[in-house]
Amino acid sequence: MMRVISSLVVLMTLSACGAPTLTSRMPVQQLSAMSAPRAVTTISAAEAHDWLADPNASWTLFDLRTPAEYAQGHLINASDLDFYASDFQAKLEGMDRHQPIIMYCHSGNRSAKALEMMRAMGFRNVYDIKGGIVAWQAAGYPVTTQTTR
């Protein structure tokens, strides 16, 4: 019995001492309140939709597809940041490493590569929509052809 109580005390102490952990299911309000470095990870289309719909959030939204793909339809308020452009990495280097960013591509390949680049560059609050615009549209969320710059 004493061993069980001791184990519980140790577990409770360890969990209380650790920094807050970030899960992809955490509401955006909790994300904003955290002072520890943020995640650089993937999120679902549903999570992205909810986070982008929050009027108190200040996300930067990037479509990493080519300008031609972007013109065919993109998420509302997304800016085109072509992953294949020769100055893509230079554009990343000029960005605020702490600005909250959500990004996507067609199916997740380019954005996964960009996510790794951004993680290595020290970005702290970047989220990649798993499955890209394909997952977004499969979930029934809207796209637009209007340009946002």
pTM (predicted TM-score): 0.73
Is residue 31 in some structural domain?
yes
Residue 10, pLDDT above cutoff 50: no
Is residue 1 in some structural domain?
no
Got the DSSP string for 64-108? -S-HHHHHH-B-TTPEE--TTSTTHHHHHHTS-TTS-EEEE-SSS
Residue 97, pLDDT above cutoff 70: yes
Report the pLDDT value the prediction gives residue 40, as an integer from 0 to 100: 87
Is residue 87 in some structural domain?
yes
Top-ranked range on mean pLDDT: pick from 7-16, 92-101, 140-149? 92-101
Is residue 16 in some structural domain?
no
How many structural domains comprise the chain? 1
The Cα 144–Cα 88 span in angstroms is 23
The Cα 6–Cα 23 span in angstroms is 29
What number of CA atoms fall less than 13 Å from residue 128's CA on the CB side? 23
Instruction: Please give the radius of gyration of the chain, using alpha carbons only, rounded to the nearest integer.
Output: 18
Residue 72, pLDDT above cutoff 60: yes
Is residue 10 in some structural domain?
no
Run of H or E including 16: helix 2-17
Is residue 3 in some structural domain?
no
Kindly report the average pLDDT of the chain as a whole number. 80
Run of H or E including 63: strand 60-63
Which residue matches tokens 């061993």? 3
Count of beta carbons in the 10 Å neighbourhood of residue 135: 18
Is residue 43 in some structural domain?
yes
Report the pLDDT value the prediction gives residue 74, as an integer from 0 to 100: 97
Is residue 19 in some structural domain?
no
Q: Which of 77, 131, 70 is nearest to 104 (CA)?
A: 131
Report the pLDDT value the prediction gives residue 66, as an integer from 0 to 100: 98
- Range of 86's domain? 24-138
Report the pLDDT value the prediction gives residue 147, as an integer from 0 to 100: 77
The answer to whether 142 and 136 have CB atoms below 8 angstroms apart is: no
Q: Give the model confidence (pLDDT) of 13-71 as tens digits.
A: 333 333 333 334 444 444 443 333 467 899 999 999 999 999 988 999 999 999 999 99
For residue 81, the domain's CATH number is 3.40.250.10
